[in-house]
């Protein structure tokens, strides 16, 4: 029986520090190294280490784990980090990325009450990419729902497909919450899809961030489609483990890594 050659794209499989929250950034580096991840995405959080370039570089060197991306502090719980101005948060995230050697900054679209920020958001992202050479990958979000009503919580929109962003992060937990067709988004985004948050969800109004394969999202199909297209961005495991003990957390993150590696492998071109 002949064996079929397998090709694996160059895309690194990285671990988000959000996947170990509320544990520390240092814990994330240690787990990534022990489990065999290729890199780390650092989400800027209240923990001071998450925004200190020197400390991050030291941890990266200690564990031999490069930092592939910085997630800007655009969550509700990080609104006080680096002051109230949203562009300052983006600019400081770009500076941090450059200092630690990360090629990408992940940002969320503006909240609808940040109207001035939202009005110049698309142009501001493009200008900063051109000036700094750093990829700013805008993440897909979801409508907020309450009492069977939807509210447009993000501007210009929670779905980046129809917005003129050059680089997009596709989050597969957010597609579940939004009820989006993830495979259609992959096709419609084409080369603009440069960053993947690998997670899963079941479609609840709560953003679940399950281990891939435990929800109803086409996680395997998305990875296989990216591999077939020669995806050159990063695949970042971003799952929720906040209620788990260390042993179970380690097992879940090992399972997520194995899932990513399995479905990124495809038949080699003849």
> pLDDT per residue over 146-175, tens digit each?
666 777 889 999 999 999 999 999 999 999
pLDDT recorded at residue 3: 64
Per residue in 115-138, pLDDT (tens digit) is 999 999 999 999 999 999 999 999
Predicted model pTM: 0.95
C-alpha–C-alpha distance, residues 106 and 158, integer Å: 14
pLDDT at 143 over 60: yes
Residue 7's pLDDT band, with cuts at 50, 70 and 90, is low
Asked if residue 2 has pLDDT above 60, the reply is no
Residue 268: count of CB within 10 angstroms of its CB: 10
- 144 pLDDT band (50/70/90 cuts)? confident
pLDDT at 268: 59
pLDDT on residue 5: 62
pLDDT of residue 1 exceeding 60: no
Average pLDDT for 76-97: 94
Q: What's the mean per-residue pLDDT of the chain? A: 94
Residue 147: per-residue pLDDT = 66
Q: Are 267 and 5 in contact (CB under 8 A)?
A: yes
The pLDDT value recorded for residue 10 is 77
The pLDDT of 258-264, averaged and rounded, is 97
Report the pLDDT value the prediction gives residue 35, as an integer from 0 to 100: 98
| Distant-in-sequence, close-in-space partners of 19: CB < 8 Å, separation ≥ 6 | 28, 237, 238, 239, 240, 241, 253, 256
Q: What is the pLDDT of residue 152?
A: 80
pLDDT of residue 151: 74
Which of the four pLDDT bands, split at 50, 70 and 90, describes residue 264?
A: very high
pLDDT at 270: 53
Q: Which of 3-12, 57-66, 212-221 has the lowest mean pLDDT?
A: 3-12
Residue whose pair of structure tokens reads 């170990």 in the numeric block: 20
pLDDT-above-90 percentage for the chain: 86
| φ, ψ of residue 214 in degrees (nearest 5) | -105, 0
CB 263 within 8 A of CB 223: yes
Do 239 and 172 form a contact (C-beta atoms < 8 A)? no
DSSP state of 112: T
Residue 69 makes CB contacts below 8 A (sequence gap 6+) with: 14, 41, 42, 97, 102, 103, 104, 105, 106, 137, 195, 234, 236
pLDDT, tens digit, 9 for 90 and up, residues 9-22 = 778 999 999 999 99
Domains assigned to the chain? 9-263 (3.20.20.150)
């Amino acid at each position: 029986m002949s064996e079929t050659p397998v090709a694996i794209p160059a895309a690194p499989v990285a671990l988000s520090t959000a996947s170990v929250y509320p544990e520390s950034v240092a814990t994330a580096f240690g787990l990534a190294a022990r489990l065999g991840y290729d890199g780390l995405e650092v989400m800027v959080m209240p923990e001071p280490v998450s925004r200190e370039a020197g400390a991050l570089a030291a941890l990266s060197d200690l564990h031999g784990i490069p930092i592939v991306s910085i997630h800007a502090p655009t969550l509700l719980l990080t609104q006080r980090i680096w002051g109230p101005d949203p562009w300052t948060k983006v600019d400081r995230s770009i500076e941090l990325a450059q200092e630690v050697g990360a090629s990408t900054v992940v940002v969320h679209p503006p909240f609808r009450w940040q109207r001035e920020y939202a009005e110049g958001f698309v142009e501001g992202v493009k200008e900063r990419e051109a000036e700094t050479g750093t990829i700013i990958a805008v993440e897909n979000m979801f409508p907020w729902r309450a009492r069977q009503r939807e509210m447009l919580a993000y501007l210009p929109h929670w779905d980046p497909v129809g917005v003129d962003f050059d680089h997009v992060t596709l989050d597969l937990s957010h597609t579940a919450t939004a009820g989006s067709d993830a495979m259609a988004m992959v096709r419609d985004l084409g080369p603009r899809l440069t960053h993947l948050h690998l997670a899963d969800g079941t479609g609840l109004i709560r953003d679940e961030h399950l281990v891939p394969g435990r929800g109803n999202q086409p996680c395997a199909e998305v990875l296989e489609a990216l591999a077939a297209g020669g995806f050159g961005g990063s695949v970042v495991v971003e799952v929720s483990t906040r209620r788990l003990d260390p042993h179970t957390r380690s097992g879940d993150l090992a399972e997520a890594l194995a899932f990513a590696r399995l479905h990124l492998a495809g038949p080699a071109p003849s």
